[in-house]
Amino acid sequence: MEELKDICRVQVRFSEIDSMRRVWHGSYVTYLEDGRESFGRHYPGIGYADMQRSGIYAPIYDIHIKYYAPLAINDVAVIHTSYVYRLGARLDYHYKIYRESDGVLCAEGETVQLFIDADGELMVDKPDYYKEWQGRYLHPAEKL
């Protein structure tokens, strides 16, 4: 089936450049979040507003980033964000960050989000908004 994927562009900011004149590695966490938010606008239903409405949030439980090539001032980061289906009450994304000027792959990342209810307890079952979202966008075999 079709991959759920979004592409967005982010201009490197001066404040993100470190004293080695490359984007500080921690700024890529913001780029992944930019990717995730752009993905959420592309495939609506699991955005922050949906979480706030239901009182069920999905904080990050695991983040992993590998850096291959630097980004510098005046670069544009092209962020490819793909939804990764995995069984259970979890929300996984995979990211690839390219340098726009020459198409070089600069970094790759993965995040895992789990759901917590209004009391801050980890949820074993998927919240309704996530089931509905999966029902809308996933292949039946993945709607478990």
15 binds its own copies (CB under 8 A): yes
The one among 6, 17, 91, 133 contacting its own copies by CB under 8 A? 17
Counting contacts by CB under 8 A, is residue 11 touching its own copies?
Answer: yes
Residue 127 burial (CB count, 10 A): 21
Residue 14 binds its own copies (CB under 8 A): yes
Say if residues 89 and 126 touch (Cβ distance below 8 Å).
yes
Does residue 63 belong to the site contacting its own copies (CB under 8 A)?
Answer: yes
84 binds its own copies (CB under 8 A): no
> What is the closest distance, in whole angstroms, from the C-beta atom of residue 139 to its own copies in the complex?
29
75 lies in the binding site for its own copies (CB under 8 A):
no
List contacts with its own copies (CB under 8 A): 11, 13-15, 17-22, 24-26, 29-30, 33-34, 37, 48-49, 57, 59-67, 70, 73-74, 120
